[in-house]
Amino acid sequence: MNKDLLTGFDLSAADVRDLFALTRDLKKKRFTDVLRNKTVGLIFQKPSARTRISFEVGAYQLGAQCVYLAPQDIRLGERESIADSARVFSRYLDCVITRTFSHQLVEELARNAAIPIINGLSDEYHPCQALGDMFTIYEITGSCRGVTLCYVGDGNNVLHSLLALAANLGLRLVAATPRNYQPCPDIWALAQERAQKTGAALEYTTDPVAAVKDADFVYTDVWVSMGQEQETARRRKVFRAYQLNRELLAHAPAQAKIMHCMPMHRGEEITDEIADSPHAVIFDQAENRLHVQKAVMARLAAGAGKKKNPRRTRD
């Protein structure tokens, strides 16, 4: 595996298979000591429930200690350069999980840190979420290959990492977003390039009804991501036709499972009826964040030491 987990594109299909095998094992076992005497840092610029809790609990269950730094504590990129922060973290910690606005910030940290950097969400990617989601699909279907995952909503960080992993794992992913809210063209192109090698099918439409037609899984995320609060009124209007509700799901196969990364804005992107339906696997997704992230930490941090001379780059 690469030193860092930043996007989902940084994992090969073999890496994901290995992580899923370890995830299954850790889900059964729960406690091991593979990270005994290690310390994991959580450095967050945005709020979080699932990511913070699942990493802290996961680190504890692997035998590691955790340090959490909230936005007001660290002011990452403000008090000193990202490169200097990366070098300092590398002297204290064995692994860092970040939650940032700018994706470039995470990349710069990773370039300058001797220890693994795990992206716990940036404006562009959410690889830990997508890994937990793909593991959920894998648990239900026994294989991700050939599964049709339909994503309805905003072409955002969650969709970008889902595209990366779908391309790797050979899924059919159909994305339906409003015009002007499609996934980033560069990320789409990268995912398509991967998909050509694996036989995955990535399709795009603006029509949510057409998108859900053959879905095994229908996925949505919030219409207003963290940092986009000033666009709330406009987004609520633009995304209205993309709500997961009874009318839209009437066009999907009856057995299609419902997915959401949470937090849910009930009454916006998903109705209570759909969120609470027996087809929803939303809380399984939330739980699987814990198990899959333990596998990621175990693979990346177990061998990481506190190196005195992290790689230097010109800033």
Count, in order, helices (H) and strands (E) of the chain. 13, 9
- Tell the smallest beta-carbon distance from residue 198 to ligand CP (Å): 26
Helix (H, G, I), strand (E, B), or coil: what is residue 46?
A: coil
Q: Is 129 one of the annotated active-site residues of the chain? A: yes
For ligand CP, the binding residue among 45, 48, 112, 243 (CB under 6 A) is 48
Please report the beta strands in 6-147, taking only residues with DSSP state E, as ranges in sequence order. 39-44, 65-69, 95-99, 117-119
CA distance 51 to 120: 7
What does the longest C-alpha to C-alpha distance in the chain come to? 59
Site size with ligand CP, rule: CB under 6 A: 9
User: CB nearest ligand NVA: which residue?
Assistant: 225
Shortest spacing between CB 145 and ligand CP, in angstroms = 25
CB of 50 to ligand NVA, least distance (A): 7
Q: Is residue 260 within a helix (H) or strand (E), and if so which, with residue range? A: strand 257-260
Q: Which of 100, 112, 119, 157 binds ligand NVA (CB under 6 A)?
A: 157
**Element housing 25 (H / E):** helix 13-29
Q: Which stretch binds ligand NVA (CB under 6 A): 95-103, 104-112, 132-140, 154-162?
A: 154-162
Strand 117-119 with 95-99, pairing: parallel
| Residue 285 binds: one of ligand NVA, ligand CP, none (C-beta under 5 to 8 A by kind) | none
Site for ligand CP, residues 82 to 141, rule: CB under 6 A: 121, 129
Per-residue tokens: 302: 């177990």
Among 226, 238, 241, 302, binds ligand NVA (CB under 6 A): 226
Residue 221, binding choice from ligand NVA, ligand CP, none, Cβ under 5 to 8 Å by partner class: ligand NVA
Instruction: Provide the terminal-to-terminal Cα distance of the chain, rounded to the nearest Å.
Output: 26
> Which positions are annotated as active-site residues?
99, 126, 129, 221, 261, 289
Binding residues (CB under 6 A) for ligand CP: these are: 48-51, 121, 129, 261-263
